[in-house]
Structure 1
Amino acid sequence: MSTIDCKTVQPFLSAYHDGELAAGQAATVANHVESCESCAAELRAFESLGAAFAKAPIPAKPAELWLQIERELPSAPGPVTLSHRFGIWIRESPYGAGLVSMVASILLVLGFGLWYGGDSRGVKEMGGQGAMVMHGSKGHTHDGEMSAEHMDEFVSVMDDYLRQLPRDPEGAERMLQAKYDGEDVDADGAVRLVGYRPIVSGGLPEGYSLASTSVLKMPCCTCVKAVCKRSDGSTLVLFEHDDEETAWFGGRQQSMAMCGDKNCCLVDLDSSIAATWKQGSRSVTAVGVRDQDEVAKLVTWLDKS
């Protein structure tokens, strides 16, 4: 891929510091930081912030905390609202001061994460010989993320799908539809099932036509899959999704690149590539893409549609 610059790497620094990048992405960031003092300085800022937060004292919860709060809430000769009395307690009580300090620390860390993190987790993989898919979020753990067991199974299914797609696209689609309860839909049907209109409902670039759209109940999410045909009859598939998984493609080689005006995660699929990028509040993963230029063409068109 082309040389990675600071503009491409910086949105990934927060996720890199937290150990949330795939191995290929992490290696790309590490190689750039070694030779770039500016990005290295930003990374050190994350490390300093994390160290400071780790050392910050968090007040222990005293026994019978709420009884203590009630005893310390000041009385007044006239009617006083609970919010007013609580505000006085916050200012005057040592417990209140500790609570404010703890909350302020948490908000500070969250603020820095949003400032530096940007849309780094929105970067996804695209690949395959021509499929577009769109999906909404559904997880399997208490916090909405896929369990390791479901992820391994999903990666295996996607690997079978990607191997079959170039030689038998119809068979590949039937397999995926059967595995994940696929339901063919139009734009209005997608809205009913996932809450938004598929991005391809606004049309496709010249040389592409929409063959079908369907909703799949995948382990990572409920998603809309759009199967597209090039003018030569080959297939491209797009997935639009709310989840931010970056491990759809297992241990395949990944890299970051600018496609149009967006950061993209590109995955080597042997005879084609996959690409994932942030599109508004969701992400798009394309499989069956021929090269980075085709990714840029799709990104630019869909951004305007």
Structure 2
Amino acid sequence: MSTNDCKTVQPYLSAYHDGELSAGQAATVAQHVEACESCASELRAFESLGSAFAQAPIPAKRDDLWQRIERELPTANEPVTLSRRFSVWIRESPYGAGLVSMAASILLLLGFGLWYGGNNKHEMAGNGGAMAMHGNDGHTHDDEMSAEHMAEFAGVMDDYLQKLPSDPDGAEQMLLTKYDGEKVDAEGAVKLVGYRPIVSGGLPEGYSLASTSVLKMPCCTCVKAVCKRNDGSTLVLFEHDDEETAWFGDRRQSMATCGDKDCCLVDLDSSIAATWKQGSRSVTAVGVRDQDEVAKLVTWLNKS
């Protein structure tokens, strides 16, 4: 794997550290981390946090703890507040001292994480923002999609890709059913997602629009356009908020310039998938024949 895969690997680092990935996913992450100091540093941050929890002391309770607390409590004429009880417990209890020590360790590590994350964001922004993974609402993609959901989603997409060439109608119905899809026209899409589908401006010569629908996929609510070539074969365009290319699991990826866009190309055996930025959103084309066809689509959609 290359450094272009950082945006694919980083959402998996926490699950990798906790041993929650499959053997294949874990091997892929391990291989990338060995060659990428940035992701290795982030993984070490997870390891440091786990070590701090494991080493935090929990001393034994004093026999006279509660008697000492009782002596510190106010008289009957003075109200006993929860904050008063807690402050006495923190001061007198060995558990309280341990809690303060652990809290200090966590705050120290949290500060390191914020510093590292802030510097990492600036570094990625300096590289053209190619690795930013934020939706329109400002949340990171990792907030919205756990490693478990990502793996499930990749499995659904794999089934879809296997079915698409031989039974495109069945493949489309499968996604519509799985992700609460609704077939819409351009105006209907605007009401559901807040923007007009990019295909509403037309398609290149040799292509026609078969249907447009809105899907509530795990990554985001997106627009899916089913396009037909003159020979009857199917090409599908997904317009979505995230930049995630982990839709396709462990399939081989590469970066290329198509038209004037940097595209992530994914090998789908008999075809390819391509993802590129289009304005404030991303477009993923599935069932593309080759890089030349990607360039044709990119150039046309830039003009529409």
Bin for the TM-score computed over the shorter chain:
0.5 to 0.7
Note closer, same or farther for the CA distance 1:183–1:258 as it changes in structure 2 (3 Å cut). Answer: same
Match of 2:77? none
Counting only pairs closer than 5 Å after superposition, residues 1-305 of structure 1 correspond to structure 2 as 16=6, 20=10, 109=119, 112-113=122-123, 115-121=125-131, 144-305=143-304
What is the alpha-carbon distance in structure 1 between the residues aligned to residue 263 and residue 303 of structure 2?
A: 17
Give 1:116 deviation, angstroms: 1.7
Question: How many Å separate the matches in 1 of 2:7 and 2:213?
Answer: 37
Question: Aligned equivalents of 1:107 and 1:146: distance in 2?
Answer: 19
For the 8 Å contact 1:238–1:284, the answer to whether it is kept is: yes
- 114-123 or 259-268: which moved more? 114-123
Structure whose residues are more often helix by fraction: 2
Structure 2: 5+ residue stretches without partners? 13-27, 42-111
Question: Given residue 227 of structure 1, which amino acid in structure 2 is its aligned partner?
Answer: V
Q: CA deviation at 1:141?
A: 8.9
Question: CA shift at 1:138, angstroms?
Answer: 8.7
Contact 1:141 1:147 in 2 (8 A): no
Q: What is the CA–CA distance in structure 1 between the aligned matches of 2:298 and 2:138, rounded to whole Å? A: 27
Q: 1:293 and 1:214, CA in 2 relative to 1: closer, same or farther beyond 3 A? A: same
Matches of 1:192 and 1:156, distance apart in 2: 30
Any idea what the Cα deviations from partners look like across 1:85-134, whole Å, max 9, x if unmatched? xxxxxxxxxxxxxxxxx9xx7898377335423131379xxxxxxxxxxx
Contact 1:257 1:263 in 2 (8 A): yes
TM-score of the superposed pair, with normalisation by structure 2? 0.61
Contact 2:208 2:227 in 1 (8 A): yes
Structure 2: distance between partners of 1:270 and 1:260? 23
> Relative to 1, partners in 2 of residues 1:192 and 1:291: Cα closer, same or farther, differing over 3 Å?
same
Whether the aligned pair in 2 keeps the contact of 1:216 and 1:225 (CA below 8 Å) is yes
User: Paired residue for 2:73?
Assistant: none
CA shift, 1:142, in A, is 9.4
Match of 1:80 in 2: none
1:38-58 deviation per Cα after TM superposition (whole angstroms, max 9, x unaligned): xxxxx99xx9xxxxxxxxxxx
Q: Tell me the C-alpha RMSD between the 2 structures.
A: 3.8
Q: What displacement does 1:193 show? A: 0.6
Contact 1:139 1:220 in 2 (8 A): no
Partners of 1:137 and 1:222 within 8 A in 2: no
Q: Which has the larger radius of gyration?
A: 2
Seen in structure 2, the aligned counterparts of structure 1 residues 208 and 159 have a Cα distance that, compared at 3 Å, is: same
**3-state SS, counterpart of residue 237 of structure 2:** strand
What's the % identity of the aligned pairs? 71
Instruction: Tell me the TM-score normalized by structure 1.
Output: 0.61
Letter in 2 for 1:274: A
Over residues 244-276 of structure 1, what are the superposed CA-to-partner deviations in whole Å (9 max), with x where a residue is unaligned?
222100011111111111111101101100000
In structure 1, the gaps of 5 or more residues are 1-8, 34-42, 48-101, 124-135
Q: Taking CA–CA contacts closer than 8 Å with sequence separation of 6 or more, which of the two structures ends up with the larger relative contact order?
A: 1
Partner of 2:86: none
Query: Which amino acid in the other structure matches residue 128 of structure 2?
Result: G
CA-CA distance at 1:151 after TM superposition:
1.0
Deviations 1:130-151 (A, max 9, x none): xxxxxx7799999633111111
Equivalent pair of 2:274/2:286 in contact (CA under 8 Å): yes
Q: How many corresponding residue pairs?
A: 215
* Structure-2 residue corresponding to 1:72: none
Does the 8 Å contact 1:262/1:299 carry over to 2? yes
After TM superposition, give the deviation of residue 304 of structure 1 in Å. 1.1
Write out the 4+ residue segments of structure 1 that deviate beyond 4 Å after TM superposition: 15-19, 21-24, 105-108, 136-143
Distance 1:284-1:186 versus aligned 2 partners, 3 A rule:
same
Structure 1 partner of 2:81: none
Whether the aligned pair in 1 keeps the contact of 2:265 and 2:272 (CA below 8 Å) is yes
